[in-house]
Amino acid sequence: MGDKVLKVAAQFATATKEVAVATAVAAAGGPALHPLAGAIADGGFAVTVWPFVAEDADPVTDADTLSGMRELHHALQGVSHPLPSYEASLDKTRAALSSVPHGILNEHDSALLARSLDMVQAACDASPTRVVHGENSILNRLSVSGRAIFIDFEGTLVAPPEWDLAVWPDALLRELWPEHDPDTLSYMRLGIYARTSVYCWRHAAARPESDNLRWHAEHHLANVRTFLARE
């Protein structure tokens, strides 16, 4: 729509949350786009309206993106909208795991994934928490005027900061986020592997013809196996 982008969500509450989080971050000068309107209910779905921005030809560096994440974390602490905790996120993943048919995922591998989720929760239980983006990935960032801008706040939650940091390499984190906890970081990476595998298996069950979904499910499951073999 010209200078606007419409985003459709399945749940009005999720869309309302995303608008509230992005509004708070942008108002605090943080790296987020300010929504142009509140969530709009439309035929069983919800629509949010965002400004269109042109991305830079060259993406910002990993170092600049990590610095942007620090800005984002600072701004997120001012969000007043009620947010879920890591427990709720992990319980949602457990529910997804339980819905995967045994014909798609065998009992042994299902138990490995369940054990991984329990280990991630134990690590979160033992760590300080704050408001985090929740779904930090290259797909949820834009490069605009030399600055990393973060989008898609549907997954924003209260969790250890390492929940967001797990996608960056150790050397960069030691340099730019030295206060992070390496042990917690390790378990948050396990969480990425396990959660991604679970949801890929669930989608593969619904779309058995998709070799790509099964490949990603197996790939992340292999990462889980490798991690647990070191424990």
What's the whole-number mean pLDDT along residues 134-149? Answer: 95
Task: Give the pLDDT confidence score for residue 44 in this predicted structure.
Answer: 86
C-beta of residue 141 within 8 angstroms of C-beta of residue 148:
yes
What pairs with residue 223 in β-bridges?
none
How confident is residue 1, by pLDDT bands cut at 50, 70 and 90? low
pLDDT at 87 over 80: yes
- CA distances, 177 to each of 110, 125, 190 (Å): 34, 21, 20
Model confidence pLDDT, tens digit, residues 174-229: 999 999 999 999 999 999 999 999 999 999 988 988 899 999 999 999 999 999 99
How confident is residue 62, by pLDDT bands cut at 50, 70 and 90? very high
User: What is this structure's pTM?
Assistant: 0.94
Quote the percentage of the chain above a pLDDT of 90: 92
Residues ≥6 apart with Cβ < 8 Å to 132? 73, 76, 156, 157, 158, 159, 160, 161, 163, 164
User: At the top level of CATH, which class does the domain 56-230 belong to?
Assistant: alpha beta
Task: Give the pLDDT confidence score for residue 175 in this predicted structure.
Answer: 97
Query: CB count, 10 Å around CB of 176?
Result: 17
Q: Give DSSP secondary structure letters for 72-114.
A: HHHHHTT--S---BHHHHHHHHHHHHHTS-TTTS-HHHHHHHH
What are the residue boundaries of the structural domains of the chain, listed by start?
56-230
